[in-house]
Structure 1
Amino acid sequence: MDIDIIGVVHHKGEIETFGQNGFQKATVTMMTVEQNPQYYPVELWQHNTDLLDDLEEGKNYKIRCGLRGRIGETQNGSRAFLSLVGWKVTPL
């Protein structure tokens, strides 16, 4: 399922590399522009980390995201996790 997150780039994270395969990920925190702003962490994976170059903190964008869900194990048993994974950036 794809959704659009529209708002201001609140924070651009650094590119991190994980594991032996060199998986790359960066997180961009988007803030909606409304009476009660909401903050959404959008992950950029692998080659989409290049989208960081197109983003500037404090500027308005629409980021097209896919919803990614998985089950993970915690100390208290299984838990569902949800991620917003961005793949297209449009300046507004």
Structure 2
Amino acid sequence: MEIQGKIKLIDETKTYGNNGFRKREMVITTEEQYPQHIMIEFIQDKCDLLNAYQVGQPVKVSINLRGREWVNPQGETKYFNSIQGWRIENLAVENGGAPEMPPMPPEDAFEPANNFNEDDHDDLPF
């Protein structure tokens, strides 16, 4: 499954237990009529995927829905769900082809080259 939106929050990586279980959470805000703030967790080596991203970026996150059952000490059964991310892509690059760049200045903003000679050798391969 996939979810798209803008990054609202990227939390720091947290380590739990003696075995060093790592978890990092992020929140994506969907862009629809009723925007949703979806918390996605990245675990173990997937935590590092978030290092290249920042708040405000439009992204597409590949996710798995996870569910588990737990029986409390009183014998009551409880169910928990989580959303785990395993891939993240920058939508600004994917949809636009290249990252946004500043606009080019107009042609007349540069002075002409006065000492240009077509016969001069250059090291370009074409």
Give me the TM-score of the superposition, normalised by structure 1.
Answer: 0.90
Contact 1:54/1:89, CA 8 A, preserved across alignment: no
Structure with the larger RCO, 1 or 2 (CA within 8 Å, 6+ apart) = 1
1:26-41 maps to which residues of 2 (within 5 A)?
26-41=24-39
1:13-92 maps to which residues of 2 (within 5 A)?
13-74=11-72, 77-92=76-91
CA distance in 2, matches of 1:4, 1:88: 9
* Cα deviation digits, residues 3-24 of structure 1 (max 9, x gap): 1010011100110000110000
Larger-gyration structure (1/2): 2
Higher helix share: 2
2:47 partner amino acid: T
CA distance in 2, matches of 1:36, 1:75: 39
* Cα deviation digits, residues 5-46 of structure 1 (max 9, x gap): 100111001100001100000100111011210111100000
Structure 2 unmatched runs, 5+: 92-126
1:48 partner amino acid: K
Q: What secondary structure, in the 3-state scheme, does the structure 2 residue paired with 1:7 have?
A: strand
Q: What secondary structure, in the 3-state scheme, does the structure 2 residue paired with 1:36 have?
A: coil
Give me the TM-score of the superposition, normalised by structure 2.
Answer: 0.67
2:84 partner amino acid: V
Q: What secondary structure, in the 3-state scheme, does the structure 2 residue paired with 1:49 have?
A: helix
1:51 partner amino acid: L
Higher strand share: 1
* Cα deviation digits, residues 50-85 of structure 1 (max 9, x gap): 011122101100000111110124577221111111
CA RMSD of aligned residues (A): 1.4
